[in-house]
A and B are shown apart, each in its own frame.
Chain A
Amino acid sequence: GQNIDQPTEMTATEGAIVQINCTYQTSGFNGLFWYQQHAGEAPTFLSYNVLDGLEEKGRFSSFLSRSKGYSYLLLKELQMKDSASYLCAVRGTASFSGGYNKLIFGAGTRLAVHP
């Protein structure tokens, strides 16, 4: 089967660092995405990892270990506006010759940033 696990909720303090973990078990692997979703809004793209290691983009970094089926999203210098849900999504291998790779989403982690 396919399974993606993330913590349901996390809290952190403004200015601090928080790490949101994601573990996955999927039929094939072809990349992992992190999306941010503010309440009542559409998810927006944060990062994409397909090779092992750390991808840094400003205050946000994402790490991937394919052998462990594990990723994390690291948020530095937290701001109040970072309060949102963070969705981990894994792309499996192509299910047909057209090259389509289905994206499977975790349930998301609700992050609350406090002053």
Chain B
Amino acid sequence: GAGVSQSPSNKVTEKGKDVELRCDPISGHTALYWYRQRLGQGLEFLIYFQGNSAPDKSGLPSDRFSAERTGESVSTLTIQRTQQEDSAVYLCASSLMGVAGDEQYFGPGTRLTVT
């Protein structure tokens, strides 16, 4: 596609429910990244995919968070048993190869609110 897309754009959920956030990267980009951005703060790295593999999951904050990528395209970030502290904007980015100097293109994000 023309750019990175994410859905839904906004999600309000009750504490304890599971949520799935979707990312469609730019076609042909092999690298895909998930970030979390709390209000007024910088981007916090969550996970990196190269193809369908996730060599770096070091940023996932707990075992309630998981992500997968299929077909070297779409990725889904799943948060189980959501907590209020999970409220944030979740940003997805993709890049051509994931190497030095490789520019990351960001999607518009999903704003998650846990009530």
A residues near B (Cβ < 8 Å) are 30-31, 33, 41-45, 48, 50, 87, 89, 91, 95-96, 98-108
Contact = CB atoms under 8 A, between A and B. Distances in A.
Interface residues of B, number: 25
Interface of B: 4, 31, 33, 35, 41-45, 48, 50, 55-56, 91, 98-101, 103-109
Contacts of B45: 102-105
Given A43-B43, A105-B42, A108-B42, A100 B50 contact: yes
Contacts of B43: 43, 87, 89, 105
A44 B104 CA distance: 9
Contact of B50 (A50, A98, A102): A98
Contact of B98 (A42, A87, A100): A100
B106 A43 contact: yes
Given A42-B108, A101-B100, A105-B44, 17 more contacts: A42-B4, A42-B91, A42-B106, A43-B106, A44-B106, A45-B103, A45-B105, A48-B101, A89-B43, A91-B100, A95-B56, A96-B55, A99-B99, A101-B98, A101-B99, A103-B45, A105-B43
Contacts, number: 64
B89 to A, nearest CB: 9
B8 to A, nearest CB: 15
B101 A31 contact: yes
A102 B91 CA distance: 16
- Among A33, A42, A91, A95, the most chain B Cβ lie within 10 Å of the Cβ of A42
B104 A103 contact: yes
A102 B56 contact: yes
A107 B109 contact: no
A108 B50 CA distance: 27
A104 B45 CA distance: 7
Given A43-B43, A105-B42, A107-B41, A100 B104 contact: no
Contacts of A48: 101, 103
A50 B100 contact: yes
